[in-house]
Structure 1
Amino acid sequence: MTDGALAAHLAQVTGALLLTVRESRMCSAHTLGKAGDQTANQFLIHALREQRPDDGLLSEEEKDSPDRLSRERVWIVDPVDGTREYGEGRSDWAVHVGLAIDGVATVGAVALPGLGVTVRSDAPPPLLPMQTPLRMVVSRSRPAAEAISVATALGAVLVPMGSAGAKAMAVVRGEAEIYLHTGGQYEWDSCAPVAVAAAAGLHVSRVDGSPLVYNRRDVYMPDLLICRAELVPAVFAALRGRPADNPVG
């Protein structure tokens, strides 16, 4: 099985498993989130260690090991991206299965179980035409000031949404044009979504334009930009407080 097929299969199966747990309705939203995290993590960890025993592994729900730092290939997973949304019965949560090779998010699959969709880097969907006004996905609880500022400069509409994976896939699937995050994340929050977005032809970087580097000792990632390539100059100009040409003509 190819890496892409494995990532997609594991993300999809994990999503189905999580839906089964949620449908049991046997505990509160908080407890349900914890149960989902643990159940999904155990499945992913065991499956990846069996299928790719020579690769490194980093999971939000697993104790980190410095062994991964010496590996060229490292699987980076988030068993439930958006635990709060999952526990509340919402659809804007995701399962991330990503593979970083030499620090680059290369292979990824993002399952959106609440929507019955799995988006994968080895078969990305075609990009749809941009809409006017532009749409920018932001946190539904704490939209970053920088995102609001850029949206104002570009005349973009803010679209509140839950998990990082759901927001990134909204751009991939043509439901938005920009995902700008400056509130801090971790490698598992973006590895798989970035691999899928890059494969789809979207721009992916830090907000200063530098590349996103994975499998580092410190897994904290301060910021992230995923957007349509045509919008990059306008977004960077807005971030610097400069006027930009109309990005959609």
Structure 2
Amino acid sequence: MDRTRGRQGTHALLGRDSGRQRVGEFDRVEKCERTRGSHGATVAPGAHKADMGVTYATATLAALGDTKGRSMSQDAHAAASIAREAGEVLLAVRAAFAVDVEPQERGKRGDAAAQARIAQLLAERFPGDDVLSEEATDTDARLSADRVWIIDPLDGTREYSEGRADWAVHVALWERGDLTAAAVAIPGEGLVLDTSSVTPAPASAVSPVRLAVSRSRPPAITEPVRAGLGAELVPMGSAGVKIAAVVRGQVDAYVHAGGQYQWDSAAPVAVARAAGLHASRIDGSPLLYNGADPYLPDLVVCRPELASRLLDLIAHATDHGETS
């Protein structure tokens, strides 16, 4: 996927000539069969506060008051709806261009179509909000905005292009300093996880510890962590799918130190926090979003009871030069 770093207001995003052309190009494929609805029902109890720099998460909706809670819930439902619809567009594009189109080109077309649809929906529903997107041009105007949507229209272009299911759509809302609502769609499974309806991560009933890793290029940090935990490696596709796997109890942790951007992790990290999981940088410091530089190279998402041990292993590996 092209790493075009971007932000524009929602009207500007929608008004790009290339965006208008893409919407027209894919009008016919949007009539294809849609994926089914979202996953999860009850509001997760919660979110936990920072614990000596190890765990950082948003406060519970109740702690923020009924009015704020309702607003956050509405934003989360909107994020889920937008992510789901973008996923439907991506599935339709892939089906329409499954033959006689090279995989790389198929990925580009899907990316563009999903970006156009998300931009359109944000412009219609939140015309005053700003946007930071992988597929749009960035300016510093978003840095003074109260509300910024951080989106990745297609996380896992390679998996998408190859006809696999382990790719995702990310839609997150940053508001006055932190992530307040988000959704991650995994269209290949007909699944949407969002911050208002995600259930607490299920307890682990499997031994050994399971680590989600890239199926093509696991970062160097993986081996010392695996060895220290006696862990099993579980290869899978996009970052969003890996973090969602922790939320769903399919794995126990995801550690990454190979370079990412804010849009790669914003939505899945917000969902993970809402499910009561630990999410931080690999040094234990908070993951901060809507920064001037969209580069956010590393993270840890795991069960809370694993956090201290994981961070200690990472610190030891870093001190001994085992991460490069």
Answer yes or no: same fold by TM over 0.5.
yes
1:47 aligns to what?
Answer: 121
Matches for 1:206-245 after TM superposition, within 5 Å: 206-241=281-316
Indicate if the aligned counterparts of 1:104 and 1:212 stay in contact, CA closer than 8 A: no
Q: TM-score of the superposition, structure 1-length normalised? A: 0.94
TM-score (norm 2): 0.73
Encode CA deviations 1:39-84: one digit per residue, 9 max, x unaligned: 0001101211221112110110111122111112110000000011
SS of 2:221 mapped into structure 1: helix
Per the alignment, residue 5 of structure 1 pairs with 77
Is structure 2 residue 230 aligned with structure 1 residue 155?
yes
Query: Out of 71, 95, 111, which is 1:37 matched to?
Result: 111
Q: Is the 8 A contact 1:76 1:99 kept in 2?
A: yes
Aligned equivalents of 1:148, 1:73: Cα separation in 2: 39
Residue 184 of structure 2 corresponds to which residue in structure 1?
110
Distance 1:179 1:102 in 2: 27
| Cα distance per residue 1:94-149 (max 9 Å; x no partner) | 00000112232221100000111101111112321212111000111111111221
The 8 Å contact of residues 108 and 195 in structure 1, kept in 2 or not, is answered as yes
- Work out which of the residue numbers 70, 87, 91 in structure 2 matches 1:15: 87
Contact 1:185 1:223 in 2 (8 A): yes
Q: Distance in 2 between matches of 1:125 and 1:81?
A: 23
Kept after mapping to 1: 8 A contact 2:86/2:169: yes
Deviations 1:224-243 (A, max 9, x none): 1100000011101211238x
What is the CA–CA distance in structure 2 between the aligned matches of 1:212 and 1:23, rounded to whole Å? 36
Query: Contact between 2:283 and 2:315, CA under 8 Å: does it hold in 1?
Result: no
Which moved further from structure 2: 103-112 or 210-219? 103-112
> Aligned partner of 1:170: which letter?
A
Shift of 1:198: 0.2
Name the SS of the counterpart of 1:185 in structure 2: coil
- Residue 246 of structure 1 corresponds to none
Q: 1:202 — aligned with what? A: 277
**Unpaired segments of 5 or more residues in structure 2?**
1-70, 318-324
Name the residue aligned to 2:16. Answer: none
Equivalent residues, number: 242
Match of 2:158 among 70, 81, 84: 84
1:130-145 to 2 correspondences below 5 Å: 130=204, 131-145=206-220
Letter in 1 for 2:88: A
1:100 paired residue number: 174
Q: Secondary structure at the residue paired with 2:202?
A: coil
Q: Which among 134, 142, 159 is matched to residue 68 of structure 1?
A: 142
Q: Root-mean-square deviation (CA), in Å?
A: 1.2
Q: Distance in 1 between matches of 2:145 and 2:290?
A: 9
Distance (Å, rounded) in 1 between the aligned partners of 2:287 and 2:203: 26
- Rounded Cα–Cα distance in structure 2 between residues aligned with 1:49 and 1:241: 47
What is aligned with 2:256? 181
- Runs of 5+ consecutive residues of structure 1 not aligned to the other structure: 243-249
The answer to which structure, 1 or 2, has the higher relative contact order (CA under 8 A, 6+ apart) is: 2
Aligned AA (2:216): S
The aligned counterpart of 2:61 is none
